[in-house]
Amino acid sequence: MGLKRLAWILGLSWLSLTAHAEDLLDICRQAISHDPQLALAGATRRYTAEAVPLARSALLPQISGSYGISQDRATSSAGTVISGSTVINTGNGGVGHQRTLSAGVSASQSLLNLQDIASLWSAHASVNAQNALYQGSLQDLYVRVAQAYLKAIQYRSYDQAYQAYAEISQQVWQQVAARNAHGLASKIDVNQAMTSYGLARTEAVDYHNQYNDALEALRQITGSPVGRLLQLADPIPLQTAVPASEDYWIERASSNNPTVVADQFKLDAALRAILAARAAHLPTLSATISYNKNPTWTQFESQHSRTTDTAIGLSLSVPIFSGGAMHAQVRQAIASRDQGVDQLEIDRRQVVRDARNYYRSLAAGVEQVRMARDSAIAAAAAVKSARAGLLVAATDMTTVLYTIEYQAEANTEYAYARNQFLMNQLLLKQAAGDVTWQDLEALNRLLR
């Protein structure tokens, strides 16, 4: 096969792999459609949203209709039948009957019911809380997808580093064995090199399994197998937090984090629930109107009748005693409010801690990534020099094996440092409640 044809085939293979590679946005689109956690949050939001029309319905007109028919039958040889209070003439005797139809419609309208009004306010606050939680779930999905994608890339780097570590260790072992065969290396050197290769191979297998598990974590989110992942650019831009103010991010997290916002709405709902419970002691006023029609037929025309009735009125209801239920409901609502106050403080302290930690980690991460990258470059150069020195007996076996192991550790440390730096950027924004699709697009542009 000619070199041109081989290059053409390899080029097509590379294009095919690139075409099937899944970037971060592809994975996230799948996750939005198939992630069960986000779907659960959406279902909960839809369920909670119905609390508003349910609470509002108590303040709207209540209209109902009724329809019924009955028949009385009796037999008399005297020629008359008494059906209820009606005397039916049956002639010479026999069976007589009376049919009564009752039909009506009634409507009522609440004019003053502070309990229902407060319940409606509470329902609105609960819906707002659930909307905030859904936004938090969506932002959490963005972060989970990015974290799983970067972690898969990270463990692929670990896998590649320790596969290379194992391959180089094997080559060194083979070189030492060949030198031993010619009396240029001791048996101890051979055993040491073989032991180093065995340990490297064990670690390579372990990291390969962890890489596969990282891919499964992505599959757990999307619900489908994950294709080939892209590589992270090297080097990555080391952009710190903007604005560069720790106080800004703490204040932003305290006021804008979706969990904190939801807690505030939940607390508002609890306060409205207290008003509703206390309003149960107050009188309620409603207007009513009804229309009823009651025609009656007998077996004989002379006994037909028809009555109609229309009534309009006001109804005043005054609670007097309910077995202590109202007082218990008030105490229960107050306890629920206290729970809301405590939960708000718990979550606010947590997001403040998170914002402060991620801001500081991001600031320190710039130097960490730079140092880790320099270490990886230096380790690669050290391995090259040590292997060259081994061939001319200028370097001992221990030094060679140490430099090989150090290179693997330096590469894994660099992969971890840059991935963690990118995640700290997202986690800081998540603490502040500001993670958007544009953040994923910016991260996706770093993939190759």
Report the pLDDT value the prediction gives residue 195, as an integer from 0 to 100.
87
165-180 tens-digit pLDDT: 888 888 878 878 887 8
Band of residue 302 on the pLDDT scale cut at 50, 70, 90: low
Report the pLDDT value the prediction gives residue 282, as an integer from 0 to 100.
94
Report the pLDDT value the prediction gives residue 6, as an integer from 0 to 100.
29
Task: Say whether pLDDT at 274 is over 90.
Answer: yes
CA distance 365 to 368: 5
Band of residue 296 on the pLDDT scale cut at 50, 70, 90: confident
54-87 tens-digit pLDDT: 999 999 999 999 999 888 775 544 445 444 444 4
DSSP 8-state secondary structure symbol assigned to residue 304: -
Which tokens sit at 281? 């002691």
Report the pLDDT value the prediction gives residue 306, as an integer from 0 to 100.
78
Which whole number is the average pLDDT over 351-357?
97
131-186 tens-digit pLDDT: 999 999 999 999 999 999 999 999 998 898 888 888 888 887 887 888 788 877 78
96 against 426, higher pLDDT: 426
**What is the dotted CATH code of the domain comprising 22-59+113-282+322-444?**
1.20.1600.10
- Is residue 163 helix, strand or coil? helix
Report the pLDDT value the prediction gives residue 9, as an integer from 0 to 100.
35
Report the pLDDT value the prediction gives residue 4, as an integer from 0 to 100.
39
Which tokens sit at 5? 């044809």
CB 52 within 8 A of CB 127: yes
Residue closest to 173 by CA, chosen among 197, 201, 137, 200: 197
Task: Say whether pLDDT at 92 is over 80.
Answer: no
305-329 tens-digit pLDDT: 778 889 999 999 999 988 899 999 9
Q: Can you give the residue ranges of every domain in the chain?
A: 22-59+113-282+322-444
Which has the minimum average pLDDT: 79-83, 173-177, 433-437, 444-448?
Answer: 79-83
CB 382 within 8 A of CB 402: no
Which whole number is the average pLDDT over 218-240?
92
Task: Say whether pLDDT at 223 is over 60.
Answer: yes
pTM for the structure as a whole: 0.83
* Mean per-residue pLDDT over the chain, rounded: 87
- Is residue 223 helix, strand or coil? coil
